[in-house]
Amino acid sequence: PQLANQIAAGEVVERPASVIKELVENSLDAGATRVDIEIEKGGAKVIRIRDNGSGIPKEDLSLALSRHATSKLKSLDDLEAILSFGFRGEALASISSVSRLTLTSRTAEQTEAWQAQAEGTEMAVKVLPAAHPVGSTVEAVDLFFNTPARRRFLKSDKTEFTHIDEWLKRIAVARRDIHFTLKHNDKTVRNYRPANTEIQYIQRLGQICGKAFAETCLRIECEHNDLKLSGYLQSPSAANGYSETQYFYVNGRLVKDRLVNHAVRQAFAQYAEGVSPGYVLMLDLDPHQVDVNVHPAKHEVRFHQSRYVHDFILQALQSAMSQSLS
Ligand code: ADP
Ligand code: MG
């Protein structure tokens, strides 16, 4: 099973940031409201994710480390959701096949915590008592220690850190309800407190997108039939050139999409030609109206009625801009 897991890991685990993505998604799936990420040496040495989610019952701990052990596929309806995230119970097994992995967890029903450690090539799992509050900590040490070719592909600590930081920004923009922290080499470098109010959310956007964006952005809020767009658009007075702040989420999922870029540029054209402004936009629509690319890394979507969606976004932006500038 080790080899199969390592092959699967090739698709799942490209670098520390991809490990963190999988582990944090698990924490969020488990209902965590706080996720603390600690890394050493850009994540190549240590990745530790601690959450206050539901925890994993003792009897499921070793199972969680084996392939195709997902607790999440409950019905055929879920299949689409699971495909969209790309995972069917492979992340933990894959990560544990290319690192030294320990999983420590406690559920609310248990009075004590337990720790599982995958060992050796057959991936036998040993389970020992441990100390931990309700929730889980997953620790992956020495990523790719047993796959040196892969290890050589890792970039400098600084570059790997940047990948992690960028990914964290994207999830922190989308999940304003979650408290995220990031520690690098024992120093807390990010602290995104839960943003329950609009003011707190704009503060979070200031941390993530820069003060200039947060202080001048226009609020977008628009609904039409089954389409809903909300978020923020850089003010034309503050925009020039190309902004790095371009976040677009469809039904909560970050996507790269030319359609939204096109609509934004078009909305801007009458104020500032050739500008690609910053935006944080969330589009919600009937999931049946959009195809999510089955390849999890691509972040692409296809709208069944793309013209309709484009024009809706364009009009929502245009009306927000004309209101604020009149
Ligand atoms: P998947 O997320 O597709 O189910 P994973 O390999 O990522 O597969 O995780 C396997 C299982 O381990 C999950 O289905 C879940 O039951 C459990 N699990 C993993 N991480 C956590 C966590 N942080 N909190 C609670 N349960 C978890
Ligand atoms: Mg998972």
Q: Over the stretch 98-107, which tens digit does the pLDDT of each residue have?
A: 999 999 999 9
Query: With contact defined as beta carbons under 8 Å apart, do 61 and 125 qualify?
Result: yes
pLDDT reported for residue 75: 57
Residues, Cβ < 5 Å to ion ligand 2: 26, 87, 91
Task: Return d(Cα 326, Cα 322) in angstroms, integer.
Answer: 6
To 5 degrees, how large is the angle CA 100–CA 104–CA 109?
160
The answer to the question of residue 272 being in a domain is yes
- Examine residue 142 and state whether it is found in any structural domain, yes or no: yes
- Ligand in closest contact with the CA of 82: 1
pTM for the model: 0.90
Least confident of 93-107, 135-149, 230-244: 230-244
Predicted confidence at residue 84, as pLDDT, reads: 45
Q: What is the pLDDT of residues 179-231, one digit of tens each?
A: 999 999 999 999 999 999 999 999 999 999 999 999 999 999 999 999 999 99
Task: Please give the share of the chain, as a percent, with pLDDT higher than 90.
Answer: 66
Residue to substitute in 19, 23, 29 for testing ligand 1 pocket (most ligand atoms within 8 angstroms of CB): 29
Q: How many CA atoms lie within 13 A of 93 on its CB side?
A: 24
ipTM exceeds 0.95, yes or no: yes
**Domain check: are 184 and 224 in the same one?**
no
Distance of CA 214 to the CA centre of its chain: 21
Residue 121: pLDDT band (50, 70, 90) is: low
Q: Which residue's CA is the nearest one to ligand 1's atom 20? A: 26
Same domain, 307 and 234: yes
Q: What range defines the domain where residue 269 resides?
A: 210-325
Judge whether 27 lies within some domain.
yes
Of all protein residues, whose CA lies closest to atom 17 belonging to ligand 1? 64
- Same domain? For 25 and 121 the reply is yes
The Å distance, Cα 87 to ligand 2 centre, comes to 6
